[in-house]
């Protein structure tokens, strides 16, 4: 398994990926698990895959550690894999689906809200589900759909917000829910790892009156199980099919 994360200059991000993949290794000690990063950290996926090919490995499952399908999974990663295939035609590559959307991610979000002191499904709490935001409208629509589908689990309301690229911004969403009469607003951080965006979201949300902001999903057990699930899905998919 080659797990490919976005990458960040913030050292907390790589440390979080390491902890998450350690949890995956504990679940599947029979599967060699390698980490790669699209940007800001080493190794890059093409360099890692080049090394695996030189070492004589015949097959790899490339698994994007991305919470929604957007530019990185639709364009960047396929471009990398096409270049690797041209250099190493004997290396069989399968591409797993992005982590989200999936019900296990909602459970992980509720775990992290609980860590922040928010009881899952509290009818007096409205939730702002915050993602990084994307220039890909379908990725933003996916986050909005997760919010709609999460709402019936007992919350007063669940609305989406985005740290960049589109709106509403986290502070705007928090203020709107409070103005609409929500007794309490909590922010659910739909981020894999801590970094610039998580810090920015936390500061903006608290300044707007949020009662709690959950930490990044990190090495939540649900994410480790989801990675194993995506890996098994990819292994069961014909090699000519690529899931993103």
Q: What per-residue string of b and e applies to 36-62 under the rule 16 or more CB within 10 Å gives b?
A: bbbeebeebbeebbbebbeeeeeebbb
Report the chain's C-alpha Rg in angstroms: 19
So what's the pLDDT on residue 203?
98
Query: What is the phi/psi pair of residue 124, to 5°?
Result: -95, 0
The model carries a pTM of 0.94
Position 240 pLDDT exceeds 70: no
So what's the pLDDT on residue 72?
73
* 243 confidence band (pLDDT: 50, 70, 90): very low
Instruction: Encode pLDDT of 45-78 as tens digits.
Output: 999 999 999 999 999 999 999 999 876 777 789 9
Burial class, 94, CB count within 10 angstroms (exposed 0-12 / middle 13-18 / buried 19+): buried
Position 23 pLDDT exceeds 90: yes
So what's the pLDDT on residue 71?
67
So what's the pLDDT on residue 70?
78
The torsion defined by the Cα of 70, 141, 231 and 25, in degrees rounded to 10, comes to 90
Instruction: Encode pLDDT of 99-127 as tens digits.
Output: 999 999 999 999 999 999 999 999 999 99
Instruction: Encode pLDDT of 178-193 as tens digits.
Output: 999 999 999 999 999 9
Instruction: Encode pLDDT of 183-228 as tens digits.
Output: 999 999 999 999 999 999 999 999 999 999 999 999 999 999 999 9
Position 41 pLDDT exceeds 50: yes
The fraction of the chain above a pLDDT of 70, given in percent, is: 97
């Amino acid at each position: 398994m080659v797990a490919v994360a976005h990458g960040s200059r913030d050292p907390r991000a790589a440390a979080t990926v390491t902890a998450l993949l350690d949890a995956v290794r504990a679940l599947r000690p029979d599967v060699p698990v390698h980490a790669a990063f699209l940007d800001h950290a080493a190794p890059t996926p093409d360099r890692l895959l080049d090394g695996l090919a030189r070492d004589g490995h015949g097959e790899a499952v490339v698994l994007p550690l991305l919470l929604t399908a957007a530019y990185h999974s639709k364009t960047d990663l396929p471009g990398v894999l096409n270049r690797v295939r041209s250099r190493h035609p004997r290396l069989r590559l399968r591409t797993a689906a992005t982590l989200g959307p999936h019900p296990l991610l909602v459970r992980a979000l509720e775990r992290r809200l609980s860590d922040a002191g928010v009881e899952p499904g509290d009818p007096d709490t409205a939730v702002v589900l915050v993602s990084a935001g994307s220039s890909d409208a379908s990725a933003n629509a996916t986050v909005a759909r997760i919010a709609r589908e999460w709402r019936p689990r007992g919350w007063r309301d669940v609305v989406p917000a985005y740290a960049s690229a589109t709106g509403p911004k986290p502070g705007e969403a928090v203020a709107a829910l409070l103005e609409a009469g929500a007794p309490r607003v909590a922010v659910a951080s739909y981020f894999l790892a801590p970094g610039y965006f998580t810090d920015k979201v936390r500061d903006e949300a608290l300044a707007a009156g949020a009662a709690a902001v959950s930490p990044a999903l990190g090495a939540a057990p649900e994410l480790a199980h989801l990675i194993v699930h995506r890996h098994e899905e990819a292994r069961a998919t014909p090699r000519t099919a690529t899931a993103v």
